[in-house]
Amino acid sequence: MIGKRILLIPPERQNKFDTINNLEDLQQSIMVAGLGMNWYDIDVWKMNQLPVHVEDGEWRTLYSKISSDGEVNYFPRGMTEIVNEAEQNDHLAIEQRLMLVYDNDFNFYLSESADGYQMAIEKTLQRAKASGFMGTLIENIGNTP
């Protein structure tokens, strides 16, 4: 889910984002993403030729830099982060149409004493994916009270 990015934006820019339907549209928009220094996302944005502002130091200062016409126009956040961050920053809104998706898996590490759980975890995750349950969970993130 962390590789599924949803954007925090100035609410008055939703109409601009409504015109973006693919990567090429986002590239041509010349809008700038804000990312923290040393985040792996920087490479993704640069490889896709998307303008990026890299915040050196405290990345949370990006919230106050996001504006319609300033140096940062949107802040891509993971699905697990976006709702809480939008609630804490009432001057920003969750972009309503777009999701930027790239592979970024989490790795689970088990201690030697928990090594016996590896197969059970793998099988459960594989079943959840094959049955569609994992997809349903991902689609419904943020829809719960």
Predicted confidence (pLDDT) per residue in 14-72, tens digit: 999 999 999 999 999 999 999 999 998 899 999 999 999 999 999 999 999 999 988 99
| Stated pTM of the model | 0.72
Domains for the chain: give ranges and CATH numbers: 4-101 (3.40.190.120), 107-145 (no CATH)
Return the closest-CA partner of residue 96 out of 13, 23, 32. 13
Name the DSSP letter for residue 96: S
Ramachandran sector of residue 70 (left: φ over 0; alpha: ψ -120 to 50; beta: rest)? beta
Tokens of 110: 């088990």
- CB 7 within 8 Å of CB 28: no
